[in-house]
Amino acid sequence: MKKLGTLLFFLFVLVNVKAADFDITKYGAVGDGTTLNSQAIQKAIDACYKSGGGKVVIPAGKFLSGTIAIKDNVTLYLQKDAVLLGSIDLKDYQNLDPFTEGLGIDVGWALLVAVDAKNIGIEGEGTIDGQGSAIKAKHILTDTRPEGKRWGLRPFLVRIVRCTGVTVKGVTLKYAGAWTSHYFQSKQILIENVKIQSVGVAHNDGIGIDGCQQVRIKDCDVVSGDDALVFKTTSSLMACKDIEVSGLRLKSSQAGIKIGTESIADFENIKITNCHIYDTKNGGIKLLTVDGAHIRNVLISDITMDEVRTPMLFRLGSRLNVFRKNTETKKPTGTFENVVIRNVKAKAADQAQLTPPSGILITGVPGHDITNLTLENIEITLAGGGTAEDSRVAVPEAIDQYPEVKTFGPKIPAYGVWARHVKSLKLINVKFNLGSNDVRPALVCEDGKDVTVSNWNLPETKGAEAIIRLENVVSANVNGITAKGEAQALVRVERTKSASITVANNNAPSIKKEVETIK
């Protein structure tokens, strides 16, 4: 019994040691906003780790720091009114996993880092503030290179690298020097009730998921200077896979939701639902594979957008970049298949990258079609204003270029949907509203196969050559179209390769011809 009692005592002590909190002030941290606390905070983390894990507590106060590393079984807990404040001196930061981002800049320095760790967390009601604008202001005093070359030295706010079991919950992330949060090749991630306010310098992406799996993101509020929620793969070794996102509010100077641009490994089994995107300056939803990735089995549904420049862009291209040049090689062109976008209502911004604005851009490259893309229950309100000349603009292929809305602009020949190099494209229950007359077609499809256009509700327009234009399209079914305006033709079929076009059950009483074929 004595031995049993002794054993129970030691077990009790062990459990309580593991559950203990490690207050950073007990290790010398000072919350005055000026004392550099990197070493003190790291000592608290190391002590917690050596004890078997627990909470490292940052109490109320402003704790200035450079790079600190979270270790196995450690949760960094920020109490209410606690601020982890990033140093504005670049020498206080480390790059524990260097890589090259999509524009060719070497990056990876960060304030808060975890590398090859298990069961870690960043939680609480406090704030992590990177002081990005102040870092830049100090940096440019001595670094006279153009901004596009020097920005990569500035630190990310949070970097999670090859970790398993990650929880980021409740905290506020503010004003990163570069990307706000970057999760790389990690698994079993929960990001919940996180608020991001990160603007002031370039490249302030909000939540960046880079080759991660088993990810859940919910109920977050993101205001970012760059893409608000972005999935990327900067290494070919691990796909973005098995991801669920719901309940996000997203505002961005770039895109609201983006897959790519860095896209060397696959994106699959991704579900994004019940999100609101607003005041974005460069796209609402953008799905882009240009470096060899396969995008497949993606569902995005129940999305609202307000004042969004160019609501949707879908791109399969052949840029074929490599981001870890010392260890990886180029891949062949990827694929884009089995993607569903459903239940989307958007108010497009009147002033956009495209003049006049367009709603949806879909384009592969010659020999590589976007395949089995379904857009269903879509309503988009646009400014209108397109001319007959705009309706005949030739859009560049830009096969190996950076994939961006402006890459294909400044004008697009359709106000609603422009699609090129597509196969098994389904456009079902689509409605457009226009603020002014637009004589461009609602839909232009070039080089398409097996195209379905069903149950569209289109606004009154006057003077259009056609409501829908099909160029080199083989096998298309256009049915259930309600078009209130006047035009020469409901469907205009052009180019010698067009064939097997079925047009039926449409309601367009003021349009002269249902089908006009031009060879």
pLDDT digits (tens, 9 = 90+) for 465-494: 999 999 999 999 999 999 998 999 999 999
**Per-residue pLDDT, 519:** 81
In this structure, the answer to whether residues 234 and 222 fall within a common structural domain is no
211 and 258 together in one domain? no
209 and 357 fall within a common domain: no
Q: Are 286 and 267 part of one and the same domain? A: yes
Residue 495 has a pLDDT of 84
Do 259 and 129 have their domain in common? Answer: no
Tokens describing residue 181: 């949060």
- Does some domain include residue 2? yes
Do 207 and 234 fall into the same domain? no
Residues 16 and 144 reside in one and the same domain? yes
Domain for residue 234, yes or no?
yes
Nearest CA among 489, 361, 333 for reference residue 425? 361
Residue 283 burial (CB count, 10 A): 26
Backbone angles phi, psi at 513, to 5 degrees: -125, 140
Q: What pLDDT is stored for residue 227 in this prediction?
A: 98
Residues 216 and 330 in one domain: no
**For residue 1, pLDDT beyond 80:** no
Question: Quick check: 232 and 205 in contact, CB under 8 A?
Answer: no
**Predicted pLDDT of residue 2:** 46
Half-sphere exposure at residue 14, Cβ-oriented, CA atoms within 13 angstroms: 7
Please answer whether residues 485 and 510 qualify as being in contact, where contact means their C-beta atoms are separated by less than 8 angstroms: yes
Residue 148's domain comprises: 1-93+105-226
Domain-located, residue 431: no
How far, in Å, CA of 278 to CA of 257, rounded?
11
Q: Is the pLDDT of residue 355 over 90?
A: yes
pLDDT of residue 15: 44
Q: What percent of the chain has pLDDT over 70?
A: 96
pTM for this structure? 0.94
Phi and psi, residue 287, nearest 5°? -115, 115
Output the DSSP codes for 258-310. Answer: EEEEEESS-EEEEEEEEEEEES-SS-SEEEEE-SSPEEEEEEEEEEEEEEESS
What digits encode the pLDDT tens for the residues 425-444? 999 999 999 999 999 999 99
Number of C-alpha atoms within 13 angstroms, CB side, residue 45?
24
Q: Which of 247, 212, 219, 214 is nearest to 230 (CA)?
A: 212
For residue 11, being part of any structural domain is answered with yes
Residue 514 lies in a domain: no
Confidence category of residue 19, pLDDT binned at 50, 70, 90: low
Q: Is 377 helix (H, G, I), strand (E, B) or coil?
A: strand
| Same domain (yes/no): 346, 216 | no
Mean pLDDT confidence for 121-143:
97
Query: Residue 325: is its pLDDT beyond 70?
Result: yes
In a domain, 439, yes or no: no
Do 293 and 408 lie in one domain? The reply is yes
Cα–Cα distance, 102 to 183 (Å, whole number): 16
Pair (258, 155) in one structural domain: no
Task: Let me know: does 68 contact 74? Beta carbons within 8 Å.
Answer: no
**What percent of the chain lies above the pLDDT cut of 90?**
92
* pLDDT for residue 399 is more than 70: yes
d(CA 205, CA 221): 13
Contact 214, 240 (CB under 8 A): no
452 touches 426 (CB < 8 A)? yes
Burial (CB count within 10 angstroms: exposed 0-12, middle 13-18, buried 19+), residue 144? exposed
**Residue 287 lies inside a defined structural domain of this protein:** yes
- The residue among 192, 226, 260 that closes a domain is 226
**How confident is the model at residue 498, as a pLDDT?**
87
Instruction: Tell me the mean pLDDT in the region 84-102.
Output: 95
- Do 63 and 75 share a domain, yes or no? yes
The domain total for the chain is: 2
